[in-house]
Structure 1
Amino acid sequence: MSWYVVRRLAISFVVLLGISALVFFLLHVVSDDPGRVVLGQRASPQAVADFNREHGFDRPLVVQYLSYLGQLAHGDLGRSYKLNENVGAVLQQNAGRSAMLSLAGLVLALLIAVPLGILQAVRRNSLVDRAATAASYVLYATPSFLLGLILIAVFSQSLPFFPAEASQSHSSWVVLTDPRAMALPVITLAITSVAIFSQYQRSSALDQLGQDYIRVARAKGLPERSVLTRHLLRNACLPLITLVGTLIPSLLAGNLIVESLFNYPGLGLLFLNSLQHEDYPVLLAYTLIGGVLTVAGNFVADIAVAAADSRIELNK
């Protein structure tokens, strides 16, 4: 394994350790009496004390955190207070549906944004370019929940093409098995990403269009389509790979809004329900997943860019 990968893995581990510590202490500082929060105001002081002692909340925070790290090292994410189930099992039940929703939104966004960005760059300052740029700014500035409500009002209420509620199937492949019910959630999740990706792709393509290799390819008499697909596309997409990696956690946050809006049973809806009940183990696990996705997204993006760009030496 090259030193580049080893170094990136070491940095990723340190970042994840810092994220886990920060989130753990913040969640426990918010409420200095978890037993009272979980059991309710009517619980007796003895019941609250027994709960805190049973779950180790009577110990110093540093000791609690070290104990939590020990659990994580053994793959134990704790037990949900409200659901009375293992957190790992609960997350596993919902992760597949959220992952497929995110993947579908990402793929749809890329399928639209990449050719749109190339088209804008080739037709710079044209009516198409200006209209697409203006639309991207508007969509980017519009909150996801508002976009979802607009789509529901138009395509579910005024024009009943799609249901307002997402499919309640527990299958991870529901995006493929029930595309009509999942159309609005996927489109809502993809819209903001399209606005970001297309403008990023446009800037990258404009930069590449001014390079000598594009001029040489055109001077050789190659068809414009061949110049764009065989020469421009690969190099123009390299920065987009990094952007996609950094935005993977944003898809998780977007899932939170979309799943809540369309009542889709996934990790986002689970997080909101846990937040209302202050179910700390689930909140910690969900936030840790976000941290892992952030680090993993950047790591995979760096490796992918290094593998695609021969100018980057992986052994350094």
Structure 2
Amino acid sequence: MIGYILRRLAQSILVVLVVTIIVFILLHQLPGGAARAILGPRATAAQIADFNVQNGYNQPLFVQYFRQLGDWATGNFGFSIKLNQSVSSLLVQRMPKTIVLGLLSLALTVIVAVPLGIYQAVHRNKPFDYIATGLSFIFYAAPTFFIGLVAIEVFSQNLGWFPPEAPQSDGVGPIFAQFDAMVLPIVTLALLSIAGFSRYMRSSVLDNLDQDYVRTAQAKGASPTRVLYHHILRNAMIPIITLLGLSLPAIFAGALITESIFNFPGMGLLFWQAAQASDYPVELGVVIITAFATVAGNLLADISLAVLDPRVKL
């Protein structure tokens, strides 16, 4: 197990390094270079030359890369001239909110999708299975912004059940103090994942229902409930564990749209505003953090798979 974890850790570090190289290359492919992109089109040649000297952009590329890599490793992602604030401080302010939003939506996804997939598999080809399958296809195909706008129109404007805007105060505390304002963002972000997870769970349970170990347990007199929850569930959860690790990029992509729709001051809204203002240091910082979180999530998923399924180590 230790050797497997070390190998996966080494692979994860390599992936992060590859991502930093790609980000570094893209930074130098900006029209006019990083200086022109950050200072704007009205910057003079003297200002651009001075900016390049101050930030080391006049040095060889390999020197710039290792200097940039050292800055990223220590949490220094540059300075946002547009917001007059360091990118690190912006990320520290916004990241906890996006993490809370993502975790709450992921928890709702697992709570709803796993029992739903199991129930569909046990009652396959029944009316409930057909209805749930149809709804899953609809929500899986619907864009996140469409679901969010419909949720605001129906549950906020027409019914008045929930506020149309997420909590605006700083810190994580207001999220729970005004939790009614978080219901629509959480549900909007979770619906797409619920649709996908429930389909995977249904297929996984159906695959395991036909395995020899299920028939053996039934022949020994085990009750259907015991067979389902003590034998099938553990093996059926293996694809879901993989999906949890792979869902981090999708959650952030959905958070970008969801936070923009509900004006939720997290990393997604920060990235959206930075893209509109061409605030490249902020965009690069968010991309690096998201890449690191994605690799870390995949690593945790691989370790969890090794614990649940010893065949993975082989």
| Contact 1:38–1:277 (CA under 8 A) maintained in structure 2 | no
Structure 2 length as normaliser, TM-score? 0.94
Summarize deviations over 1:224-264 as a string: whole Å, max 9, x none.
Answer: 22222222211111111011111112111111111111000
What residue identity is the alignment partner of 1:107?
A
Superimposed CA distance per residue, residues 152-208 of structure 1 (whole angstroms, 9 cap, x where no aligned partner) = 111011111011111112222444322100000000000000011000001100011
SS, match of residue 310 in structure 2? coil
Q: After TM superposition, give the deviation of residue 5 of structure 1 in Å.
A: 1.1
Q: Distance in 1 between matches of 2:262 and 2:79?
A: 27
Is the contact made by 2:27 and 2:33 (CA closer than 8 Å) also made in structure 1? no
How large is the RMSD of aligned CA atoms in angstroms? 1.8
Distance 1:38 1:159 in 2: 45
Cα shift at 1:60: 4.2
Provide the residue aligned with 1:214 in structure 2.
Answer: 214
Deviation per CA, 1:288-316: give whole Å up to 9, x if none: 11211221111111100111223444xx6
Preserved contact between residue 27 and residue 34 of structure 2 (Cα < 8 Å)? no
SS of 2:129's equivalent in the other structure is helix
**Post-superposition shift, 1:55?**
2.1
Partner of 2:126: 126
Alignment check: 8 A CA contact 2:166 2:181 kept: yes
Aligned to 2:226: 226
Question: Deviation at 1:58?
Answer: 3.4
Give, as a single letter, the amino acid of the residue that structure 2 aligns with 1:214: V
Structure 2: distance between partners of 1:215 and 1:254: 41
Change in Cα spacing, 1:230 to 1:131, as seen in structure 2 (3 Å) is same
Identity %: 47
CA contact (8 A) 2:30 2:37 kept: no
Give 1:32 shift: 2.2
What is the identity, as a one-letter code, of the residue corresponding to 1:56?
G
Partner Cα distance (2:219, 2:248) in 1: 40
- How many residues were matched structurally? 314
| Aligned 8 A contact 1:165 1:264 in 2 | yes
The AA in structure 2 aligned to 1:293 is: A
Q: Where do residues 45-194 of structure 1 align in structure 2 (5 Å cutoff)? A: 45-194=45-194
| Greater displacement, 251-260 / 284-293 | 284-293
Shift of 1:59: 3.6
- Report if aligned partners of 1:25, 1:61 keep a CA contact under 8 Å in 2: no
Say if 1:111 and 1:173 are closer, same or farther in 2 by CA, change over 3 A. farther
Aligned CA distance change for structure 1 residues 246 and 214 (closer, same or farther; 3 Å):
same
Mapped partners of 1:230, 1:174: distance in 2: 40
Q: Relative to structure 2, which stretch is displaced further, 83-92 or 261-270? A: 83-92
CA distance in 2, matches of 1:310, 1:172: 39
Partner of 1:283: 283
Contact 1:120 1:129 in 2 (8 A): yes
Distance, in Å, in 2 between the alignment partners of 1:27 and 1:255 is: 24
CA contact (8 A) 1:79 1:85 kept: yes
Aligned partner of 1:240 in structure 2 is 240
Which amino acid letter does the alignment assign opposite residue 244 of structure 2? Answer: V
Aligned position for 2:297: 297
Give 1:194's aligned amino acid. Answer: I
Alignment-derived partner of residue 11 in structure 1: 11
2:85 is paired with a residue whose SS is coil
Instruction: Give the secondary-structure state (helix, strand or coil) at the position aligned to 1:30.
Output: coil
Mapped partners of 2:210, 2:165: distance in 1: 47
Query: Counterpart of 1:37?
Result: 37
Q: CA deviation at 1:71?
A: 1.5
Using the TM superposition, name which of 20-29 and 42-51 deviates more. Answer: 42-51
Give the direction of change, closer, same or farther, for the CA distance of 1:302–1:40 in structure 2 (3 Å limit): closer
Deviations 1:75-108 (CA, angstroms, capped at 9, x unpaired): 3222222223222221111111000000000000
